[in-house]
Amino acid sequence: MNSKIQRRDFIKITSAAGVALLANEGDARASEPAAPSPLPVVISSANGMKATAKAMEILKAGGKPLDAVIAGVNIVEEDPSDTSVGYGGLPNEEGEVELDASVMDGLTCRCGAVGALKSIKTPSKVARLVMERTDHIFLVGEGALRFALLTGFKKEDLLTDESRKKWLEWKSKLSATDNWLSEESEGTAFGEVIKHYGTINCLAVDPNGNIAGTTTTSGLSWKIPGRVGDSPIIGAGLYVDNEIGAAGSTGRGEANIKVCGAHTVVELMRQGKTPEQACIETLERVVKTTKEKRLLGADGRPNFNLNFYAVTKKGEYGGAALYPSRFCVNTGAESKLVDSAPLFNRPPR
């Protein structure tokens, strides 16, 4: 798409339904220049107010960006009231909580990740140890758990009473809402029980322009055991380049993986796009690659949400989502929720 075209203009997005769609009027913001924030700066998904505050505290005390973002998301990972991350996360279809996380350090260009990790509240810490203490990047399942236990973590029950209740509610309506597909299901909508996508992504830039990020999640609720989304995949749910900036995501991981979203956002920023412009253009690719009828609403648009967040080494930040959403920004002087640029103004139909 020509980046010079104003987003308030009509654009055509081809979906599997062959519907020509109208870009929403608010998208004109995507062409506006991004204003640098005084460094340091921390951004995260909307559930990261406490996380960004903690990360900023560490940065102001002279701490490293990687220390800052991991300490920040640990607050959410250990909070049972956030059912999308860590302890209390919504379980898989068998009632077991499986966690995914990734970390990436711009200073060293190193990264680490874990997927389908059970019984450990803080997968971001385990991901860091994968990065620092092994020659690997990604450990999954039993191997990830074995590694965590060898490095001093203790097994804990991650399923809270509240998450168990929600799982039992889903089980009672299983036939309409499970993650298995039949030939007939390709043309049907999801069932009545909402599928929960939830995650926290946190990105930090220190006063010297050094960057780090982490993404951590309990993943898609009621997923097939062993399912891994975009969060622990370097280049999809997280990417950091100390020369350019960083990006991360929350929302439907399967849609993001197909476009390598975080890496795509960073590469677009390398080409000169603002963080918001880069996020919007990546979302347009998501729409073009979403062709399954079951993933499209009556209007031909995706029936799920996906969010991207991005920051440059100069402190420019931005976010965009398929549908209206927000993200958190902490500049040290203030912590606030900011509207993401929506690709479409109205919710999916």
Residue 317 is which amino acid? Y
Please give the Cα distance from 227 to 210 (Å, whole number): 33
Among 199, 216, 264, 312, the active-site one is 199
Please give the Cα distance from 8 to 28 (Å, whole number): 5
Edge-first strand listing for the sheet containing 341-342: 238-241, 245-251, 306-312, 317-321, 341-342
* Residues contacting 341, CB < 8 A, separation 6+: 26, 27, 29, 30, 276, 279, 280, 318, 319, 320, 321
Q: Which two tokens stand for residue 267?
A: 């590469």
Q: H helices of 78-209, where?
A: 123-133, 141-150, 161-172, 174-177
Establish whether 199 is a catalytic residue: yes
Please give the Cα distance from 83 to 221 (Å, whole number): 9
Strands 110-117 and 138-140: parallel
Please give the Cα distance from 216 to 250 (Å, whole number): 9
Q: H helices of the chain, where?
A: 49-60, 65-77, 123-133, 141-150, 161-172, 174-177, 253-257, 261-270, 275-288
Q: Which two tokens stand for residue 47?
A: 């559930």
Please give the Cα distance from 56 to 63 (Å, whole number): 9
Catalytic residue set: 199
